[in-house]
Structure 1
Amino acid sequence: MFKRDVTDCSGDSQGDSLLGLRIASIFVIYIGSTCGALFPVLARRSKYMNVPKSLFDFAKFFGSGVIIATAFIHLLAPALDELGSPCLSEAWGEYPYALALCLLSIFSIFIIELVAFRWGTALLAKIGVHHDAHGHDTGSHAAHGPEGNLVTTTSKDVEALPSETINESVHEHTHRVSDSAVSQVIGVAILEFGVVLHSVLIGLTLAVNDSFKILFVVLVFHQTFEGLGIGSRLAYMNLPSRYNFVPIIGAVIYGFTTPIGIAVGLGLRTTYNPNSATASIVSGVLDSLSSGILIYTGLVELLAHEFLFNKEMMESSDAHLAYALGSMLLGCALMALLGKWA
């Protein structure tokens, strides 16, 4: 997020200039955000767009790098500035509240996920279904990773099984698919929640900031890259047919978030000052919590489970591994560079 002028604690509005361009930015950023998020989803489903798998892999790992850089450079760093603003009382400077809230967010997400998996696994065990939440029996992180594989039975195997065994196998497979789908939806929802908060806040700031032109240009790229990151995760969700609408809805929701923030900021431009103490506290707290969500999701759900716990990746060629790492580092580097201006 664009850094505030911490020396200005007045309540004066700063969003009256370039009103026409500020209104136009709603539509420009909406198009960039939506295209970035929807393209991977639609391209992977389309029979007419023969997009090479290597390009999808690039988008997926590039997006992971974008998300991790967003957490540190575009959320945690601004939160430290906002909650350390001289406009706040001295009590805010006596403790690193931004880091503490980020830590609280990380452990909260971890504990919620831990309890949810324990409860879900116990529930499945009662009905006789074995489920490895970490995908150790499938070679990848089935519950979180979009590439998680489910154990299936071939037609030849089915013919060789008794009818009772076939019914049990189908019953177990159904529960595995359902459990994996719900886990993936929850995981992506947590990821998108953190990104949505961030997007609304930067839209609000863009609507009233004095350095509008620079921030506008940077945010077009910022939101498109971030949309690509979200879209690549949505595109690789392995869901049953009845859940096929989820990735599209997720991409559409993301596209609306920053324009909504801009619209709200324009509506409040005569009263809202991003340098005020209240704005610094609200934005700093939300940025801190959002950074924790994205740090946990980026490092654990995306980075660790895409590389360390992914049997396919660990057994892949050195060239494929280098390509994946290079794509991720490129996304991280470009998003971190954008942090110089926004």
Structure 2
Amino acid sequence: MLSAIVTLMVDSMATSLYSRRNNSNVVKPDDDHHHHGHVAVSTDAEMAVVGGGGGGHFHGHHHGGLVDGGAKDGSQQLLRYRVVAMVLELGIVVHSVVIGLSLGASNNTCTIKPLVAALCFHQMFEGMGLGGCILQAEYKFFKKAVMVFFFSVTTPFGIALGIALSRVYKENSPSSLITVGLLNASSAGLLIYMALVDLLSADFMGPKLQRSIKLQIKAYIAVLLGAGLMSLMAKWA
């Protein structure tokens, strides 16, 4: 619960910072253009011809604000996608290190085999979700490569760290249980918040799902099925 609240704070502050930085780069329109004539710059401009013959003149009603509003909404949505991608990356990275640490420190072969299988499916689904968020964020190639790199190396890093600490690391010791429990709780709260608030709510409240009850029911079934399968994999992970 505390992790989810902290994630809410980070999410809100990051969105605010991104928005302020974006707004500071927007050039305000010159007032002289509004006082010395109206120019139709959009396809929605309404033109009326007054008079007859060749002496007619035009009155233009400018509707460029609609275009500006649409561009602003698109910019805000892009900023939101970027915040979601960064926070989700943070949660998955922490979670992956903990999983790798548990796998590397384990000395029981009966535990390792099912854990590896569960880990492969787990990381695949997490990678698909994170990849979709990174794609929506429209980052440049370098930033995409960095985010993919960190996602790819955190689990192997955790495994290597677990192997290195296997002699001093005791799974059932109080300090180990507290450390792993805190890390798991932190990443769990972060991921649950991101899934419900930033990912699922955006889809379920979108116009596509709101227009179709059948599509909503199918989406509910898919969410419950996915949650059930991930919970089942937690038995071995």
Q: CA–CA distance in 2 between the matches of 1:124 and 1:208?
A: 45
Q: Is residue 125 of structure 2 the alignment partner of residue 204 of structure 1?
A: no
Q: CA–CA distance in 2 between the matches of 1:245 and 1:295?
A: 28
**Structure 2 counterpart of 1:303, from 190, 196, 200:** 200
SS of residue paired to 1:157: coil
**Equivalent residue letter for 2:209:** M
Q: Provide, for residues 114-133 of structure 1, a one-character-per-residue CA deviation record: whole Å limited to 9, x for no partner.
A: 3444565567677589xxxx
Q: CA–CA distance in 2 between the matches of 1:168 and 1:299?
A: 32
| Conserved? CA contact 1:227–1:254, under 8 Å | no
Tell me the residue number matched to 1:105. 3
Q: Is residue 196 of structure 2 the alignment partner of residue 324 of structure 1?
A: no
| Structure 1 unaligned blocks of 5 or more | 1-102, 130-154
Deviation at residue 281 of structure 1 after TM alignment: 2.2
Tell me the residue number matched to 1:238. 136
| Structure 2 unaligned blocks of 5 or more | 29-40, 48-59
SS of residue paired to 1:195: helix
TM-score for both structures, normalised by structure 2: 0.70
Indicate the RMSD between aligned Cα atoms, in angstroms.
Answer: 3.6
Tell me the residue number matched to 1:114. 12
Q: CA–CA distance in 1 between the matches of 2:20 and 2:87?
A: 23
| Conserved? CA contact 1:203–1:258, under 8 Å | yes
The aligned length equals 210
Q: CA–CA distance in 2 between the matches of 1:104 and 1:339?
A: 22
Q: Is residue 121 of structure 2 the alignment partner of residue 224 of structure 1?
A: yes
**Equivalent residue letter for 1:114:** S
Q: Is residue 201 of structure 2 the alignment partner of residue 315 of structure 1?
A: no
- Structure 1 119/272 Cα, relative in aligned 2: closer, same or farther at 3 Å? closer
Where does 1:146-295 land on structure 2 (aligned, <5 Å)? 157=43, 169=67, 173=71, 176-235=73-132, 237-240=135-138, 243=140, 246-247=143-144, 249-295=146-192
Q: CA–CA distance in 2 between the matches of 1:123 and 1:203?
A: 37
> Which of these two proteins has the greater Rg computed from alpha carbons?
2
- Structure 1 107/122 Cα, relative in aligned 2: closer, same or farther at 3 Å? same
| Conserved? CA contact 1:215–1:341, under 8 Å | no
Q: CA–CA distance in 1 between the matches of 2:89 and 2:209?
A: 25
Q: Which has the higher contact order (CA 8 A, sep 6+)?
A: 1
- Structure 1 324/248 Cα, relative in aligned 2: closer, same or farther at 3 Å? farther
Q: CA–CA distance in 1 between the matches of 2:202 and 2:104?
A: 38
**Equivalent residue letter for 1:157:** T
Question: Percent sequence identity over matched residues?
Answer: 24
Deviation at residue 292 of structure 1 after TM alignment: 1.3
| Conserved? CA contact 1:198–1:290, under 8 Å | yes
TM-score for both structures, normalised by structure 1: 0.51
